[in-house]
A and B are shown apart, each in its own frame.
Chain A
Amino acid sequence: MKTDQIDIVELQDELEKLHSASFGWALSCCRRDHAEAEEVLQTVYLKILEGKARYRGESSLKTWLFAVIRKTAIGEYRKRLVRSLVFLGSSERHDTGVSPADAPTTLLEKSELQKQFRVALAKLPARQREALHLVFYEDLSLSEAANVMGISIGSARQHYERGKKHLREWLSHTETENGIVWRRKETPSAV
């Protein structure tokens, strides 16, 4: 281990506090694939333990950690892609034809709207999805989001606005389609 033991103990505490948010971010980076997100997070911890990823205090720990998770997720995705091309047609294929939206986590979905929201989110371009996730889900500012994504704040804002526009369109469309049904469910006497 390259990192000092004391540092690791301190870092471990901090990582534990951020673990839930880290997993949420890993899920977003892995197109909501639960197993892949878990593997990515494990790889990130491994990188930290081996000293391959070092926190130098240039930004907040959360921003740094999220940037590492994002990079690792991209790397893991590329590896999987190469593996799937190499073992094309063999039984080792990871892809079982289940879309991320249909993953086991969907069992915990509370509403139909939430289910549709996940599908809409999955359809967004990666950058837009990332920007929205970092701002709405992780409560980061746009400059922090830009740091995590490794782009300028201007680009981050552009992705954020475009993503928001897409989701707004989806939301208005969904409300128009299902509004009556939901209203009926909420207040049956009103209809």
Chain B
Amino acid sequence: MELSGEEKKLQALFSELKAADEQTTPHFGATWNRAQIAPRRVRIFNPAFVAAALLLVFGVVAFAVWSRHSRTATSPQPVIATAPQNPGNTAGAEAPPTPETPMPQPKTAVVLSRNKTTGQRNVMLSAANRKLQKDAKSIASWTSPTSALLESPSDEIFSSLPELNQSATQLKSFLPSRSN
């Protein structure tokens, strides 16, 4: 390769660099001998093996934590509080007694994040229970706005039963009144 003027300068600089490096080059025998000793030292600590072992341990721990959380999250059976059967007929009636015992966890509260702590979960659970009780009360006291239209004077007849020892005249009162 034909070298130009500047290339010759570069060549000279590289040659000077090479000469300086040669003075600091370690002895071949020393490096070679160290390399011969090295294998035993290297094989004691295998980073790949350690990394694989750590990964395995992490995987086992993660699986254990996940399985524990999934079990606790799915165990409570969701029970929806039963509302009164005929809310329209209970006009003026008292609301059925709400259960004193804590309500079972509603379905909406079941969907809890697995990462939540137990304390957070308890707080959310109690809030859901309170909401559910409030809803149950409001449903029980609900009356239809048109319930007054369903009332009639003969409601009393249907709501009470004649007794056997009553006289015929008294029993007449249960008969529909005739105007003519």
User: Which residues of A are at the interface with B, using a C-beta cutoff of 8 A?
Assistant: 12, 15-16, 19-20, 23-24, 27, 34, 38, 41-43, 45-46, 49-50, 104-105, 108-111, 113-114, 117-118, 132-133, 135-137, 141, 164, 167-168, 171-172
Contact = CB atoms under 8 A, between A and B. Distances in A.
Contact of B26 (A16, A38, A43): A38
A35 to B, nearest CB: 10
B70 interface: no
Is the contact region of chain A dominated by helix, strand, or loop, or is it mixed? helix
A38 B31 CA distance: 8
Interface residues of B, number: 27
B20 A117 contact: no
Given A15-B28, A43-B35, A113-B13, 7 more contacts: A16-B28, A38-B31, A45-B35, A46-B35, A46-B42, A104-B24, A137-B14
A107 B161 CA distance: 121
Interface in B19-38: 20-26, 28, 31-32, 34-36, 38
Contacts of A12: 32
Interface string B9-23: 111011011101111
B39 interface: yes
Given A19-B28, A108-B20, A108-B24, A46 B39 contact: yes
A28 B18 CA distance: 11
A15 B32 CA distance: 10
22 contacts: A16-B28, A24-B21, A24-B22, A24-B25, A41-B26, A42-B31, A45-B31, A45-B35, A46-B38, A49-B35, A104-B24, A108-B20, A109-B20, A110-B16, A110-B20, A111-B16, A113-B13, A132-B14, A136-B10, A137-B14, A137-B18, A172-B6
A159 B114 CA distance: 56
A23 B21 contact: yes
Contacts of B20: 105, 108-110, 114
A171 B8 CA distance: 12
A171 B11 CA distance: 12
